[in-house]
């Protein structure tokens, strides 16, 4: 099965949104299959991130483990929920 989140989507329709305080991570694509991320602490997600330090937001890669550890899932697609919910 191919990676269901490999294709980069628009920041207005992300696969998922995580938050922690004033940080918001909008997940736009992933570099690995969801199942293989558990074994790879360097798995990356391409995100659009906003915070009080950068209210206009920035695009970039971030470690999936960091977002999952520090963020709280607040919105996602049904497919994302199946893999990460």
Residues 6+ apart with CB under 8 A from 48: 11, 14, 25, 26, 28, 57, 58, 59
Please tell me the pTM assigned to this model. Answer: 0.94
Is residue 1 pLDDT above 90, yes or no?
no
In a domain, 32, yes or no: yes
Range of the domain at 56: 16-77
Does the residue 7 lie in any domain? no
Q: Is residue 3 part of a domain?
A: no
Burial label for 52, CB within 10 Å (0-12, 13-18, 19+), is exposed
What's the number of domains the chain is made of? Answer: 1
Is residue 52 helix, strand or coil? coil
pLDDT surpasses 90 at 85 = no
* % the chain with pLDDT above 70: 100
Q: Cα(32)–Cα(84) distance, rounded to whole angstroms?
A: 13
Q: Is residue 8 part of a domain?
A: no
Report d(CA 1, CA 84) in Å as an integer.
16
């Amino acid at each position: 099965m191919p990676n269901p989140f490999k294709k980069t989507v628009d920041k207005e329709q992300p696969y998922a949104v995580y938050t922690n305080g004033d940080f918001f991570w909008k997940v736009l694509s992933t570099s690995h299959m969801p199942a293989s991320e558990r074994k790879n602490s360097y798995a990356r997600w391409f995100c659009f991130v906003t915070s009080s330090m950068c209210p206009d937001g920035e695009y970039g890669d971030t470690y999936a483990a960091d977002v999952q550890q520090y963020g709280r899932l607040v919105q996602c697609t049904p497919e994302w929920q199946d893999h990460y919910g």
